[in-house]
Structure 1
Amino acid sequence: MSSPFTLAACAEMLWRDRPIEWRCARLAEMGFQVGLWNWPEHDLAKLAASGATFSIMNGYLTGRLADDEGADALLRSARETAQVGKRLGVARLNLHGTGLGAGGLPAQPCDVVSGAMWLKARDTLCRIAEMAEAEGVTFTLENLNLPVDHPGTPFGRAEDTIALVSAVDHPRLRLNLDLYHAQIGEGNLIETCRRALPWIGEVQVADVPGRCEPGTGEINYRGVARALQAMGYAGPVGMEAFATGDPEAALAAFRAAFTL
Structure 2
Amino acid sequence: MTATTVAAGNAFTLAACAEMIFTDRPFLERVDAIAARGLKVEMWDWGGKDLDALAARRADGVEIVSMTGYVEGDLTTDDGVARLLATAEQSLAAAERIDCPRLNVHGTGLGEGGIPVVANEHPSPGDWLRAADTLRRLAALGEREGRVFTLENLNLPVDHPGCPFALARDTRTLVAAVDSPHLRMNLDLYHAQIGEGNLIELCRASQPWIGEIQVADVPGRAQPGTGEVNYRAVALALMDMGYRGTVAMEAFASGASDDALDEFISTFTVEMAQ
1:16 aligns with 2:23: yes
CA distance in structure 2 between the aligned counterparts of 1:39 and 1:165, rounded to whole angstroms: 24
Q: Percent identity?
A: 55
The question of whether the paired residues in 1 share the 8 Å contact of 2:12 and 2:244 is answered with: yes
Deviations 1:23-53 (A, max 9, x none): 1111111100000010112111222233420
The counterpart of 2:54, out of the listed 47, 69, 73, is 47
Residue 86 of structure 1 and its aligned partner are, at CA, apart by 1.3
CA distance in 2: counterparts of 1:219 and 1:207, whole angstroms: 6
Q: Secondary structure at the match of 1:210?
A: coil
Paired letter, 2:177? A
Residues 60 and 78 in structure 1, CA contact (< 8 A), matched pair in contact too: yes
1:4 CA drift (Å): 0.8
- Residue 3 (structure 1) aligned with residue 13 (structure 2): no
Q: Please say if residues 3 and 255 of structure 1, whose CA atoms lie closer than 8 Å, have aligned partners that are also in contact.
A: no
Corresponding position of 1:36: 43
Does the alignment pair 1:159 with 2:169?
yes
Amino acid at match of 2:97: R
The within-5 A match list for 1:94-243 is 94-243=104-253
Return the offset for 1:55.
1.4
Q: Which runs of 5+ in 2 are unaligned?
A: 1-6
What residue in structure 1 maps to residue 4 of structure 2? none
CA deviation profile, 1:162-196 (whole Å, cap 9, x unmatched): 00000101000010000000000000101110111
> Does the 8 Å contact 1:10/1:36 carry over to 2?
yes
What is the one-letter code of the residue matched to 2:23? R
Q: Which runs of 5+ in 1 are unaligned?
A: none
Which amino acid letter does the alignment assign opposite residue 258 of structure 1? F
- Asked whether the 8 Å contact 2:214–2:247 carries over to 1, the reply is yes
* Alpha-carbon distance in 2 for matches of 1:137, 1:39: 16
2:121, 2:165 within 8 Å by CA — same for their partners in 1? no
Displacement of 1:5? 0.2
Bigger shift: residues 52-61 or 140-149: 52-61
Query: CA separation in 1, counterparts of 2:155 and 2:25?
Result: 29
Give the distance between the partners of 1:206 and 1:89, measured in 2 at CA: 26
How much has 1:89 moved relative to structure 2?
1.1
Residues 47-86 of structure 1 deviation map (CA, whole Å, 9 limit, x = unaligned): 2233420111011001100122211111100011001011
Q: 1:144, 1:153 → 2: CA distance?
A: 8
Tell me the CA shift for residue 249 of structure 1: 0.6
Counterpart in 2 of 1:84? Answer: 94
TM-score by length of 2: 0.93
